[in-house]
A = this chain, B = another copy of it.
Amino acid sequence: MAAIPTVEATAHATAPATAPSARPAMADHRTPLVRNCWYVAGRSSDFGRTLRERVLLDTTVVLYRREDGTPVVLDNRCVHRSFPLSRGRLDGDVVVCGYHGMRYDPSGQCVGMPSLARAPSHARVTSYPVVEQGPLVWVWMGDRALADPALVPAMPWLAAPDWATVTGELPMAANYVAMHENLLDQTHFSVLHADSVGTPAYARSELQVEEEGDQVHLTRALIDSPPPPIYGVPMKLMGRPVDRHSDSRFFSPAGHIAHASIVNREPRPGEREVYRVNITHVFTPERQNSIHYWWFNSRDFGLDDDEASRYLQEASTKAYREDVDALTWIQQTYDRLDGVPPELSFGPDRPGLLMRRILKRLADAEGAGRAG
């Protein structure tokens, strides 16, 4: 555990890809996507009895649900003539190609072809392991032998009756490394989100950073200070003194979970002492430089407070759209330039740099695995 220095201690340029460097290598937008990971394939409601095409990790897949309700993710290309299966139809649990009627069961095995007397047993498309949990369906697009369902991150608050959740999704034309860095970075709040989540006092509060295996964990406490609107408004504590304990975790290449506890220092009659908020950010690379992004703002108070829900929906959407805009503009800058420009980093960037080293290490390990 280490405090972030408040003056630049580690300022350095991130080296261009071809330059040798003694520093630990860090992922950037050109680093191959990490595949050995449970990513969100979509909301549960994205899976139904009609075929839906989606691109995940540069692979075009088709999403649907079996008659018994189990979600299915198959490669979307018929092995016969490359017709997109999502343009075909469902017959029970079987996907029927729209060109020659080739039939695939949920395991990807071809089980019939109208022009042939028996199904070609060697014909099959990839079926990806999936786990449905709460409002999300998770998919494993990497090495199938490593797809352990126990690794799907638990997010019970998303489905628990004692939590209320507002949620949204935003497509983003940016690489996922920049999005991860954005979510580990608290120093942009008071600039990019000046109107909503950022307060000057919070920006000065001391941050604890821990690297735990392939995760990065941040904790921060801000004692006796009025809350920003994103907390103060739904809690009806604007201008009141609160303690704010928050922690945030980069749990995998698939996302971040943040918890906040707001302690009401001077509760009035009928008020709670502690209010909890969990913010869940999950996102999946669509291609190298685009993302499917879903966010969830969950609270354990005011469960039936429609006004609070409406406010949180609007304020969250506004703030996350600011992030989407920023990351899109940055990606456009990268796209316009030959090669990656050297970027300077400073002390407060340390959580993001730790994450980028982890992502690089994971990507390199997969590359070595593929090469070997």
A38 to B87, CA, bound (A): 35
Interface status of A79 (Cβ within 8 A of chain B): yes
Whether the pair B115, A346 counts as a contact (CB closer than 8 A) is yes
Whether the pair B79, A344 counts as a contact (CB closer than 8 A) is yes
Whether the pair A99, B188 counts as a contact (CB closer than 8 A) is yes
Task: Give chain B nearest CB distance to A100 CB in angstroms.
Answer: 5
Interface status of A120 (Cβ within 8 A of chain B): yes
Whether the pair A82, B114 counts as a contact (CB closer than 8 A) is no
Tell which of B82, B178, B341, B345 touches A330, judged by Cβ atoms closer than 8 Å.
B82
Select from chain B the residue with minimum beta-carbon distance to A200.
B114
Whether the pair A330, B81 counts as a contact (CB closer than 8 A) is yes
Task: Give chain B nearest CB distance to A80 CB in angstroms.
Answer: 5
Tell which of B11, B77, B192, B329 touches A120, judged by Cβ atoms closer than 8 Å.
B11
Q: Within the oligomer, what is the number of copies of this chain?
A: 3
Output the residue of A81, A99, A190 with the most chain B CB within 10 A. Answer: A81
Whether the pair B343, A80 counts as a contact (CB closer than 8 A) is yes
Task: Give chain B nearest CB distance to A12 CB in angstroms.
Answer: 10
A324 to B199, CA, bound (A): 52
Whether the pair B113, A82 counts as a contact (CB closer than 8 A) is no
A6 to B113, CA, bound (A): 11
A-B contact pairs, 24 of them (CB 8 A): A6-B117, A7-B117, A7-B118, A11-B120, A60-B336, A77-B341, A80-B343, A80-B345, A81-B181, A81-B343, A82-B330, A82-B341, A83-B326, A83-B329, A83-B333, A87-B326, A87-B329, A99-B191, A99-B192, A101-B190, A114-B187, A114-B191, A116-B347, A116-B348
